[in-house]
Structure 1
Protein backbone atom coordinates (compact mmCIF):
# COMPACT_ATOMS: atom_id res chain seq x y z
CA UNK A 1 0.00 0.00 0.00
CA UNK A 2 1.24 3.46 -0.89
CA UNK A 3 1.81 5.44 2.34
CA UNK A 4 1.17 8.77 0.60
CA UNK A 5 -2.29 7.86 -0.68
CA UNK A 6 -3.97 8.48 2.69
CA UNK A 7 -2.05 11.73 3.27
CA UNK A 8 -3.14 13.05 -0.14
CA UNK A 9 -6.74 12.02 0.57
CA UNK A 10 -6.60 13.70 3.97
CA UNK A 11 -5.34 17.00 2.48
CA UNK A 12 -8.08 16.92 -0.16
CA UNK A 13 -10.67 16.24 2.53
CA UNK A 14 -9.36 19.09 4.71
CA UNK A 15 -9.48 21.49 1.76
CA UNK A 16 -13.07 20.47 0.97
CA UNK A 17 -14.07 20.93 4.63
CA UNK A 18 -12.56 24.41 4.65
CA UNK A 19 -14.35 25.23 1.40
CA UNK A 20 -17.63 24.06 2.97
CA UNK A 21 -16.97 26.42 5.89
CA UNK A 22 -16.49 29.27 3.43
CA UNK A 23 -19.66 28.38 1.57
CA UNK A 24 -21.77 28.01 4.71
CA UNK A 25 -20.60 31.39 6.01
CA UNK A 26 -21.62 33.04 2.75
CA UNK A 27 -21.77 36.82 2.79
CA UNK A 28 -21.71 36.89 6.59
CA UNK A 29 -18.04 35.89 6.86
CA UNK A 30 -15.72 38.53 8.29
CA UNK A 31 -12.96 39.59 5.87
CA UNK A 32 -10.09 38.29 8.03
CA UNK A 33 -11.85 34.97 8.60
CA UNK A 34 -12.44 34.64 4.87
CA UNK A 35 -8.76 35.38 4.23
CA UNK A 36 -7.71 32.82 6.84
CA UNK A 37 -9.98 30.15 5.36
CA UNK A 38 -8.83 30.90 1.80
CA UNK A 39 -5.17 30.78 2.78
CA UNK A 40 -5.80 27.54 4.67
CA UNK A 41 -7.36 25.95 1.60
CA UNK A 42 -4.43 27.13 -0.49
CA UNK A 43 -1.99 25.66 2.03
CA UNK A 44 -3.84 22.32 2.05
CA UNK A 45 -3.90 22.14 -1.75
CA UNK A 46 -0.22 23.03 -2.17
CA UNK A 47 0.76 20.56 0.55
CA UNK A 48 -1.44 17.94 -1.08
CA UNK A 49 0.38 18.51 -4.36
CA UNK A 50 3.79 17.95 -2.75
CA UNK A 51 2.55 14.72 -1.17
CA UNK A 52 0.97 13.68 -4.46
CA UNK A 53 4.38 13.93 -6.16
CA UNK A 54 5.64 11.48 -3.54
CA UNK A 55 2.61 9.27 -4.08
CA UNK A 56 3.45 9.02 -7.78
CA UNK A 57 7.10 8.31 -6.93
CA UNK A 58 6.09 5.61 -4.47
CA UNK A 59 3.63 4.05 -6.91
CA UNK A 60 6.41 3.70 -9.47
CA UNK A 61 8.67 2.32 -6.71
CA UNK A 62 11.23 5.10 -6.53
CA UNK A 63 13.76 4.35 -3.81
CA UNK A 64 13.33 7.48 -1.69
CA UNK A 65 9.98 9.11 -2.46
CA UNK A 66 10.22 11.21 0.72
CA UNK A 67 12.98 13.20 -0.97
CA UNK A 68 10.75 14.25 -3.89
CA UNK A 69 9.73 17.92 -3.53
CA UNK A 70 9.23 18.99 -7.14
CA UNK A 71 8.30 17.69 -10.58
CA UNK A 72 11.90 17.88 -11.86
CA UNK A 73 13.00 15.74 -8.90
CA UNK A 74 10.19 13.27 -9.63
CA UNK A 75 11.11 13.08 -13.31
CA UNK A 76 14.81 12.64 -12.49
CA UNK A 77 14.08 9.83 -10.02
CA UNK A 78 11.85 8.08 -12.53
CA UNK A 79 14.36 8.48 -15.35
CA UNK A 80 17.03 6.82 -13.19
CA UNK A 81 14.73 3.80 -13.17
CA UNK A 82 14.14 4.02 -16.92
CA UNK A 83 10.52 5.11 -16.46
CA UNK A 84 8.75 8.01 -18.16
CA UNK A 85 5.15 7.98 -16.89
CA UNK A 86 2.51 10.21 -18.39
CA UNK A 87 1.52 11.44 -14.93
CA UNK A 88 4.86 13.18 -14.39
CA UNK A 89 4.76 14.68 -17.87
CA UNK A 90 1.25 16.02 -17.33
CA UNK A 91 2.22 17.59 -14.00
CA UNK A 92 5.29 19.20 -15.61
CA UNK A 93 3.14 20.59 -18.43
CA UNK A 94 0.56 21.96 -15.99
CA UNK A 95 3.28 23.65 -13.94
CA UNK A 96 4.70 25.30 -17.07
CA UNK A 97 1.41 26.50 -18.61
CA UNK A 98 0.83 29.94 -17.12
CA UNK A 99 -2.95 29.67 -17.55
CA UNK A 100 -3.31 26.22 -15.95
CA UNK A 101 -4.98 25.74 -12.59
CA UNK A 102 -1.82 24.15 -11.15
CA UNK A 103 0.50 26.95 -12.26
CA UNK A 104 -1.88 29.54 -10.80
CA UNK A 105 -2.26 27.57 -7.55
CA UNK A 106 1.51 27.30 -7.08
CA UNK A 107 1.98 30.98 -8.00
CA UNK A 108 -0.67 32.01 -5.46
CA UNK A 109 1.09 29.94 -2.80
CA UNK A 110 4.48 31.52 -3.64
CA UNK A 111 2.84 34.95 -3.58
CA UNK A 112 1.33 34.25 -0.16
CA UNK A 113 4.71 33.15 1.21
CA UNK A 114 6.49 36.12 -0.36
CA UNK A 115 4.05 38.60 1.15
CA UNK A 116 4.37 36.97 4.57
CA UNK A 117 8.18 37.01 4.36
CA UNK A 118 8.24 40.66 3.28
CA UNK A 119 5.92 41.58 6.13
CA UNK A 120 8.18 39.81 8.61
CA UNK A 121 11.26 41.62 7.36
CA UNK A 122 9.63 45.06 7.06
CA UNK A 123 11.36 47.93 8.82
CA UNK A 124 8.29 49.72 10.08
CA UNK A 125 5.46 48.22 12.13
CA UNK A 126 3.09 49.17 9.31
CA UNK A 127 5.01 48.08 6.26
CA UNK A 128 3.72 48.76 2.77
CA UNK A 129 4.25 45.63 0.73
CA UNK A 130 4.73 45.78 -3.03
CA UNK A 131 3.91 42.41 -4.55
CA UNK A 132 5.92 41.49 -7.59
CA UNK A 133 4.90 38.19 -9.08
CA UNK A 134 5.25 36.43 -12.39
CA UNK A 135 1.61 37.13 -13.16
CA UNK A 136 -1.14 39.44 -12.04
CA UNK A 137 -1.82 38.73 -8.35
CA UNK A 138 -4.71 36.33 -7.93
CA UNK A 139 -7.40 37.30 -5.46
CA UNK A 140 -8.23 34.17 -3.50
CA UNK A 141 -11.89 33.37 -3.12
CA UNK A 142 -14.02 30.30 -2.54
CA UNK A 143 -15.02 29.92 -6.19
CA UNK A 144 -11.43 29.97 -7.46
CA UNK A 145 -10.17 27.63 -4.75
CA UNK A 146 -13.08 25.27 -5.32
CA UNK A 147 -12.27 25.08 -9.03
CA UNK A 148 -8.63 24.28 -8.23
CA UNK A 149 -9.66 21.63 -5.70
CA UNK A 150 -12.04 20.01 -8.20
CA UNK A 151 -9.44 20.04 -10.98
CA UNK A 152 -6.84 18.54 -8.67
CA UNK A 153 -9.22 15.85 -7.39
CA UNK A 154 -10.13 14.91 -10.95
CA UNK A 155 -6.46 14.72 -11.95
CA UNK A 156 -5.61 12.51 -8.96
CA UNK A 157 -8.53 10.19 -9.62
CA UNK A 158 -7.63 9.88 -13.30
CA UNK A 159 -3.95 9.30 -12.54
CA UNK A 160 -4.72 6.69 -9.91
CA UNK A 161 -6.90 4.79 -12.35
CA UNK A 162 -4.07 4.78 -14.87
CA UNK A 163 -1.42 3.83 -12.30
CA UNK A 164 -3.55 0.87 -11.17
CA UNK A 165 -3.42 -0.46 -14.71
CA UNK A 166 0.38 -0.27 -14.82
Structure 2
Protein backbone atom coordinates (compact mmCIF):
# COMPACT_ATOMS: atom_id res chain seq x y z
CA UNK A 1 0.00 0.00 0.00
CA UNK A 2 1.14 3.53 -0.77
CA UNK A 3 2.31 5.09 2.54
CA UNK A 4 1.50 8.60 1.34
CA UNK A 5 -2.19 7.84 0.88
CA UNK A 6 -2.76 7.76 4.65
CA UNK A 7 -0.66 10.91 5.16
CA UNK A 8 -2.75 12.77 2.59
CA UNK A 9 -5.95 11.58 4.25
CA UNK A 10 -4.63 12.51 7.70
CA UNK A 11 -3.77 16.06 6.66
CA UNK A 12 -7.14 16.46 4.95
CA UNK A 13 -8.66 15.47 8.29
CA UNK A 14 -6.48 17.97 10.17
CA UNK A 15 -7.54 20.76 7.81
CA UNK A 16 -11.21 19.82 8.32
CA UNK A 17 -10.87 20.01 12.09
CA UNK A 18 -9.17 23.39 11.86
CA UNK A 19 -11.85 24.65 9.47
CA UNK A 20 -14.59 23.64 11.91
CA UNK A 21 -12.95 25.73 14.64
CA UNK A 22 -12.26 28.59 12.26
CA UNK A 23 -15.91 28.70 11.17
CA UNK A 24 -17.01 28.66 14.79
CA UNK A 25 -14.63 31.45 15.86
CA UNK A 26 -15.35 33.61 12.82
CA UNK A 27 -19.06 33.37 13.61
CA UNK A 28 -18.47 34.46 17.19
CA UNK A 29 -16.38 37.47 16.19
CA UNK A 30 -13.47 36.02 18.16
CA UNK A 31 -10.01 37.45 18.57
CA UNK A 32 -8.56 38.39 15.17
CA UNK A 33 -5.20 36.81 16.00
CA UNK A 34 -6.89 33.52 16.86
CA UNK A 35 -8.80 33.60 13.57
CA UNK A 36 -5.58 34.44 11.70
CA UNK A 37 -3.71 31.62 13.46
CA UNK A 38 -6.41 29.12 12.52
CA UNK A 39 -6.57 30.41 8.94
CA UNK A 40 -2.84 30.11 8.49
CA UNK A 41 -2.85 26.68 10.13
CA UNK A 42 -5.34 25.50 7.51
CA UNK A 43 -3.04 26.81 4.77
CA UNK A 44 -0.08 24.98 6.31
CA UNK A 45 -2.06 21.75 6.50
CA UNK A 46 -3.26 22.04 2.91
CA UNK A 47 0.26 22.77 1.67
CA UNK A 48 1.55 19.73 3.56
CA UNK A 49 -1.31 17.70 2.09
CA UNK A 50 -0.30 18.85 -1.39
CA UNK A 51 3.35 17.93 -0.84
CA UNK A 52 2.36 14.48 0.43
CA UNK A 53 -0.03 14.09 -2.50
CA UNK A 54 2.77 14.78 -4.99
CA UNK A 55 4.70 12.00 -3.28
CA UNK A 56 1.63 9.75 -3.37
CA UNK A 57 1.40 10.19 -7.13
CA UNK A 58 5.13 9.51 -7.45
CA UNK A 59 4.89 6.35 -5.34
CA UNK A 60 1.82 5.14 -7.24
CA UNK A 61 3.75 5.40 -10.50
CA UNK A 62 6.75 3.66 -8.86
CA UNK A 63 9.18 6.60 -8.76
CA UNK A 64 12.46 5.58 -7.16
CA UNK A 65 12.55 8.10 -4.30
CA UNK A 66 9.12 9.69 -3.86
CA UNK A 67 10.25 11.16 -0.52
CA UNK A 68 12.53 13.47 -2.52
CA UNK A 69 9.58 15.02 -4.39
CA UNK A 70 8.80 18.48 -3.01
CA UNK A 71 7.15 20.22 -5.95
CA UNK A 72 5.26 19.37 -9.11
CA UNK A 73 8.33 19.98 -11.30
CA UNK A 74 10.26 17.36 -9.32
CA UNK A 75 7.35 14.94 -9.73
CA UNK A 76 7.24 15.53 -13.48
CA UNK A 77 11.01 15.11 -13.77
CA UNK A 78 10.94 11.87 -11.76
CA UNK A 79 8.15 10.52 -13.96
CA UNK A 80 9.84 11.61 -17.20
CA UNK A 81 13.02 9.75 -16.26
CA UNK A 82 10.85 6.63 -16.18
CA UNK A 83 9.24 7.46 -19.52
CA UNK A 84 5.90 8.34 -17.93
CA UNK A 85 3.76 11.42 -18.33
CA UNK A 86 0.55 10.85 -16.36
CA UNK A 87 -2.38 13.22 -16.62
CA UNK A 88 -2.39 13.72 -12.84
CA UNK A 89 0.99 15.45 -12.86
CA UNK A 90 0.06 17.55 -15.89
CA UNK A 91 -3.19 18.68 -14.28
CA UNK A 92 -1.42 19.68 -11.07
CA UNK A 93 1.21 21.61 -13.04
CA UNK A 94 -1.53 23.42 -14.97
CA UNK A 95 -3.41 24.28 -11.77
CA UNK A 96 -0.21 25.62 -10.20
CA UNK A 97 0.42 27.87 -13.19
CA UNK A 98 -3.17 29.00 -13.75
CA UNK A 99 -3.47 32.31 -11.93
CA UNK A 100 -6.67 32.35 -9.92
CA UNK A 101 -7.01 28.57 -9.62
CA UNK A 102 -7.51 27.17 -6.13
CA UNK A 103 -4.02 25.63 -6.18
CA UNK A 104 -2.33 28.78 -7.43
CA UNK A 105 -4.13 30.75 -4.69
CA UNK A 106 -3.26 28.20 -1.99
CA UNK A 107 0.43 28.11 -2.87
CA UNK A 108 0.53 31.91 -3.17
CA UNK A 109 -0.99 32.24 0.31
CA UNK A 110 1.58 29.78 1.65
CA UNK A 111 4.49 31.65 0.05
CA UNK A 112 3.14 34.95 1.38
CA UNK A 113 2.98 33.50 4.89
CA UNK A 114 6.59 32.33 4.63
CA UNK A 115 7.86 35.79 3.68
CA UNK A 116 9.13 38.22 6.26
CA UNK A 117 6.28 40.72 6.74
CA UNK A 118 6.75 44.37 5.97
CA UNK A 119 7.36 46.16 9.20
CA UNK A 120 7.35 49.63 10.62
CA UNK A 121 9.93 50.27 13.34
CA UNK A 122 9.12 52.89 15.96
CA UNK A 123 12.03 55.32 15.94
CA UNK A 124 10.95 57.07 19.15
CA UNK A 125 11.58 54.11 21.42
CA UNK A 126 14.94 52.95 22.80
CA UNK A 127 13.63 49.42 22.19
CA UNK A 128 12.94 48.69 18.55
CA UNK A 129 9.22 47.94 18.35
CA UNK A 130 7.95 46.41 15.17
CA UNK A 131 4.39 46.92 13.97
CA UNK A 132 3.39 43.97 11.81
CA UNK A 133 0.32 44.39 9.61
CA UNK A 134 -1.80 41.25 9.76
CA UNK A 135 -5.05 42.98 8.79
CA UNK A 136 -4.69 42.15 5.11
CA UNK A 137 -3.96 38.49 5.79
CA UNK A 138 -6.92 38.11 8.15
CA UNK A 139 -9.33 39.57 5.62
CA UNK A 140 -8.08 37.51 2.70
CA UNK A 141 -8.08 34.14 4.45
CA UNK A 142 -11.45 33.06 5.77
CA UNK A 143 -13.25 29.80 6.40
CA UNK A 144 -15.36 30.03 3.25
CA UNK A 145 -12.38 30.52 0.94
CA UNK A 146 -10.24 27.91 2.68
CA UNK A 147 -13.12 25.41 2.63
CA UNK A 148 -13.51 25.96 -1.11
CA UNK A 149 -9.79 25.30 -1.65
CA UNK A 150 -9.93 22.18 0.49
CA UNK A 151 -13.02 20.87 -1.29
CA UNK A 152 -11.55 21.50 -4.76
CA UNK A 153 -8.32 19.80 -3.72
CA UNK A 154 -10.15 16.82 -2.24
CA UNK A 155 -12.19 16.39 -5.44
CA UNK A 156 -9.00 16.36 -7.53
CA UNK A 157 -7.37 13.79 -5.25
CA UNK A 158 -10.42 11.50 -5.31
CA UNK A 159 -10.71 11.74 -9.10
CA UNK A 160 -6.98 11.06 -9.55
CA UNK A 161 -7.08 8.11 -7.17
CA UNK A 162 -9.91 6.55 -9.18
CA UNK A 163 -7.89 6.97 -12.37
CA UNK A 164 -4.68 5.65 -10.80
CA UNK A 165 -6.54 2.53 -9.60
CA UNK A 166 -7.35 1.77 -13.23
CA UNK A 167 -3.72 2.07 -14.31
TM-score (norm 1): 0.88
User: Which residue does the alignment assign to 2:74?
Assistant: 73
Alpha-carbon separation, structure 2, partners of 1:152 and 1:29? 28
User: Which residue does the alignment assign to 1:6?
Assistant: 6
The C-alpha deviation readout for 1:104-140, integer Å capped at 9, x for no partner, is 1000000011035x66xxx9431566xxxxxx97811
- Select 1:125's aligned residue among 125, 129, 145: 129
Larger radius of gyration: 2
Alpha-carbon separation, structure 2, partners of 1:81 and 1:165? 19
Q: CA RMSD in A?
A: 1.9
Alpha-carbon separation, structure 2, partners of 1:124 and 1:146? 38
Alpha-carbon separation, structure 1, partners of 2:160 and 2:30? 36
Alpha-carbon separation, structure 1, partners of 2:128 and 2:150? 37
Q: How far apart are 1:152 and its partner, in Å?
A: 0.4
User: Which residue does the alignment assign to 2:40?
Assistant: 39
Gaps of 5+ in 1: 130-135
Gaps of 5+ in 2: 120-126
Alpha-carbon separation, structure 2, partners of 1:142 and 1:128? 23
Q: Secondary structure at the match of 1:115?
A: coil
The C-alpha deviation readout for 1:74-100, integer Å capped at 9, x for no partner, is 001001111100000000000000010
Alpha-carbon separation, structure 1, partners of 2:40 and 2:74? 26
User: Which residue does the alignment assign to 1:18?
Assistant: 18
Are residue 30 (structure 1) and residue 55 (structure 2) matched?
A: no
TM-score (norm 2): 0.87
Q: How far apart are 1:27 and its partner, in Å?
A: 2.7
Alpha-carbon separation, structure 2, partners of 1:27 and 1:18? 15
Once superposed, which parts of structure 1, at least 4 consecutive aligned residues long, lie more than 4 Å away? none
Q: Secondary structure at the match of 2:115?
A: helix
Aligned residues: 156
